[in-house]
Structure 1
């Protein structure tokens, strides 16, 4: 399995919009971001989550294998996304997390399973992306995969789109977060992008 690795710090903010606001958000982003045709900024990604179960006292390791359904010939992507530190982020405008991305060959899933990683879940994200300099905005509708590996019959899990604005940097610098926050303020009131406490989401989902 060939791979090229990069480790960075990701600055990000998240929010959501209903289907009825999608057109307004896309129109606003087209005015703010770099020009692109409608066909060139669409995406459909299949993401599979793998977990390496920990030994006693150890922490589980979660990795994400992603491939494009629009461009099957593109390399697979292996991603590790660290958890944001909720306490140290309180004084910042945005959240940060470690992000490791590895471009691999198409035998990635087999390789992970041979290493001992177990399949946990999978989903398909369909939507649009926009760029403004180093800022990337994705608008994704998450789809459930009812039968493992069946990407032909996805089912949308809600009537809303996940919206995420992010910047990836090789070094930590507050100016990056300030720039991202200033940009996302331009998207109000169509969508409010903010820091999200993922611990609360996880806790509510496990009640």
Structure 2
């Protein structure tokens, strides 16, 4: 079997499923949403969990077949010795009966030379971005409110990534997700019920990424 195909088909007998709702909110209203989430979510310590991640996407282009993309992510807060994660996210399942997006995914820790390894397998650099924001948790659900930015200049090893970011939009990306191992209608109902409590500040919806 081709090494790239082997990499993404390991553990296929036990796929993980990610249930997702997404939306966006203007920067000047993001603080209102965060206040609402802090009041609704599990907040034992009173502190909001924060993250600042860098993600690089590599794509394997297969003639006559769908491209395969793998995502390398690490936390800038962990520099200079971050833990690298390799993540494969499949396209959302086209099930109109589902009120949330459902997609298979695989995630694992890898060594820092993972990008060189992917290039040897035939993967090419596609794009990269930074995601910085807050994480809120409600039971099994995770809600992130993140500012997405990109690099002003690439391949500038002499510059701090914190100093060369350019926001992509004047809004924050909001995602509600829940990890499961099988189809469960109760998951979708649980997520939609919670999403209703965030209106009218934001409407989290099932996103058709192929439109």
Unaligned runs of 5+ in 2: 1-9
Number of the residue aligned with 1:170: 181
Structure 1 gap ranges (5+)? 201-207
| 1:70-109 matches, cutoff 5 A | 70-72=77-79, 73-86=81-94, 88=95, 90-109=96-115
Matches within 5 A, 1:34-113: 34-35=42-43, 36-38=45-47, 41-54=49-62, 56-72=63-79, 73-86=81-94, 88=95, 90-113=96-119
CA distance in 1, matches of 2:152, 2:137: 32
Q: 2:20 aligns with which of 12, 15, 20?
A: 12
Count of residue correspondences: 193
What root-mean-square deviation, in Å, do the aligned CA atoms of Structure 1 and Structure 2 show?
1.8
Residues of 2 paired with 1:96 and 1:14: CA distance? 12
Conserved 8 A contact 1:11-1:177: yes
State the Cα distance separating 1:37 from its structure 2 match: 4.8
- C-alpha contact 2:132 2:147 (8 A) present in aligned 1: yes
TM-score for the superposition, normalised by structure 2:
0.85
Match of 2:146 in 1: 140
Contact 1:7–1:101 under 8 Å retained in 2: no
Indicate which of 171, 174, 192 corresponds to 2:203.
Answer: 192
Paired position in structure 2 for 1:205: none
